[in-house]
C-alpha cells in the first residue's frame, strides 16, 4: 500500500465484540484470532472505541501484550453509543479525551491511525479535524483517517454515494493531511470505485476496504433464510432477508467457480478482487475465528487472471439496498 506502510490484508476486529451476535464473541477465541493474524503476517488491526462499546479496544490491548511492535493499530472516535441510538460527537474536548481513553484501553503510547468515525453535524468538521491534528503534534497519533462507511445512509437523492465524503475530505485536507479513508468496497458493493478511490489515488491516500466479504455473504458459508440473532446487524440488513440472500446466490456461485480453478475459497477470491483495485487499497475483513483470519491473509497470494476478472465483472449486481 503506497499511502500506509502496512501488509496487503488487514484484520477487522469489530465482530469480536460488536454487531455480530456480540455477546457470544468475546474471550480467548478472539485473542487467538488476533494472534493467528499476526503470525500470518497481518499487521493492520482495525478497531473503534464504540465497538462494545470499549470492549473491542480492551481486547486488542490484551492481544498485543508483548507484540505491539508487530501491529499497526487503527482505531476511531466520534460516535457515542446510547441505550437506543448512536450519536456523533465531534467536539474538540471530547476528541482529546477519547484519544487518551483509547490509548489506555489499547495499552499503548501511540495510535498508528486515528479515524474520525463520523462527522458531527453540529460541529464544523474542520474543528474536529484540528483537534485530531493536535494529537499528531503531541505524539499520541501517527496519522489521521476518515471513515466513510456510513455514506450509503446519508447520501442525497441522485448523488453518487461518496460525493459527500469527498466534500468532507476536501475540507479537512486543508487543515491536516488525510492518510487513509475507510469505506465499504466489495464485489457486491463496488461504489467506492466510482469517485472515492480515484480521489485517494490522486492524492496518495490509502483506502481501507471495509466489509470486503459483504458482511460474510461472499464467503459462501451462509444459507439463504437461515436467520440472524437480534443483535446481529444482518438481521436488519436489506440484503440478508431470505428473499435477497437467495436472489444474490449467483454472486457466490460465480466466486466459487473461480475459486475452484485456483484451489482457493470464495472469500479469498472476493478479497483478491479487492486487492486488484490498486496499491492504495487494503481489504480489512472482519472475523473472530483464527481459521478465517489465516484464510483471509492467504488471499494476498492469489493472483486473479484476466479471465477471472472478466467473469467477476459479468456477475449480476447485488439486489437489496439501504436506499
Alpha helices in 10-140 (DSSP H): 28-39, 55-63, 92-106, 125-137
User: What is the per-residue pLDDT for 21?
Assistant: 60
| Average pLDDT of adjacent 10-residue blocks, the chain of 323 residues | 81 90 64 97 98 96 98 98 90 98 98 97 97 98 89 59 93 98 97 96 97 97 89 90 96 98 98 97 97 98 98 96 61
Predicted pLDDT at 2: 45
Catalytic position from the list 20, 51, 114, 217: 51
Domain ranges of the chain: 11-216+266-302
Instruction: Compute the distance between CA of residue 183 and CA of residue 275 in angstroms, rounded to an integer.
Output: 14
Q: What is residue 152's predicted lDDT score, i.e. its pLDDT?
A: 56
Q: How long a stretch of residues is the chain?
A: 323
Annotated active-site residue 217? The verdict is no
* 181 closest CA partner among 50, 3, 9: 3
Q: Are 63 and 34 in contact (CB under 8 A)?
A: yes
145/148 Cα distance (integer angstroms)? 10
Region 11-216+266-302: CATH code: 3.20.20.100
pLDDT at 161: 83
Cite the beta strand spans of the chain per DSSP E: 11-12, 44-46, 72-77, 79-81, 86-88, 113-116, 144-147, 180-184, 206-210, 281-284
Global pTM reads 0.94
Contacts of 105 (CB under 8 A, 6+ apart): 49, 54, 57, 58, 61
Q: Which residue has the cell 446487524?
A: 233
Strand segments, DSSP code E, in 197-241 are 206-210
Amino acid at each position: 500500500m503506497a499511502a500506509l506502510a502496512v501488509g496487503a490484508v488487514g484484520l477487522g476486529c469489530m465482530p469480536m465484540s460488536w454487531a455480530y451476535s456480540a455477546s457470544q464473541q468475546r474471550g480467548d477465541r478472539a485473542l487467538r484470532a488476533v494472534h493467528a493474524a499476526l503470525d500470518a503476517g497481518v499487521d493492520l488491526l482495525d478497531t473503534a472505541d464504540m465497538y462494545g462499546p470499549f470492549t473491542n479496544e480492551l481486547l486488542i490491548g490484551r492481544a498485543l501484550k508483548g507484540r505491539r511492535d508487530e501491529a499497526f493499530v487503527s482505531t476511531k472516535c466520534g460516535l457515542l453509543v446510547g441505550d437506543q441510538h448512536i450519536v456523533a460527537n465531534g467536539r474538540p474536548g471530547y476528541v482529546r479525551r477519547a484519544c487518551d481513553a483509547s490509548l489506555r484501553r489499547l495499552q499503548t503510547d501511540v495510535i498508528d491511525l486515528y479515524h474520525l468515525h463520523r462527522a458531527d453535524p453540529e460541529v464544523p468538521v474542520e474543528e474536529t479535524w484540528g483537534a485530531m491534528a493536535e494529537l499528531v503534534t503531541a505524539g499520541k497519533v501517527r496519522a489521521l483517517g476518515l471513515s466513510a462507511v456510513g455514506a450509503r445512509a446519508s447520501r442525497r437523492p441522485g448523488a453518487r454515494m461518496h460525493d459527500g465524503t469527498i466534500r468532507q475530505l476536501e475540507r479537512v485536507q486543508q487543515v491536516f493531511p488525510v492518510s487513509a479513508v475507510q469505506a465499504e468496497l466489495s464485489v457486491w458493493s463496488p461504489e467506492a470505485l466510482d469517485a472515492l478511490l480515484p480521489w485517494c489515488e490522486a492524492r496518495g491516500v490509502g483506502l481501507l476496504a471495509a466489509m470486503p466479504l459483504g458482511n460474510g455473504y461472499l464467503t459462501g458459508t451462509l444459507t439463504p433464510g437461515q436467520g440472524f440473532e437480534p443483535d446481529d446487524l444482518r438481521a436488519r440488513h436489506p440484503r440478508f432477508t431470505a428473499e435477497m440472500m437467495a436472489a444474490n446466490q449467483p454472486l457466490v456461485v460465480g466466486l466459487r467457480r473461480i475459486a475452484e480453478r485456483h484451489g482457493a475459497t470464495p472469500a479469498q477470491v472476493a478479497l483478491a478482487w479487492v486487492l486488484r483495485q490498486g496499491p492504495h487499497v487494503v481489504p480489512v475483513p472482519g472475523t473472530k475465528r483464527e481459521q478465517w483470519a489465516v484464510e483471509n491473509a492467504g488471499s494476498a497470494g492469489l493472483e486473479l487472471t484476466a479471465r477471472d476478472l472478466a467473469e467477476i465483472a459479468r456477475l449480476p449486481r447485488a439486489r437489496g439496498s439501504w436506499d
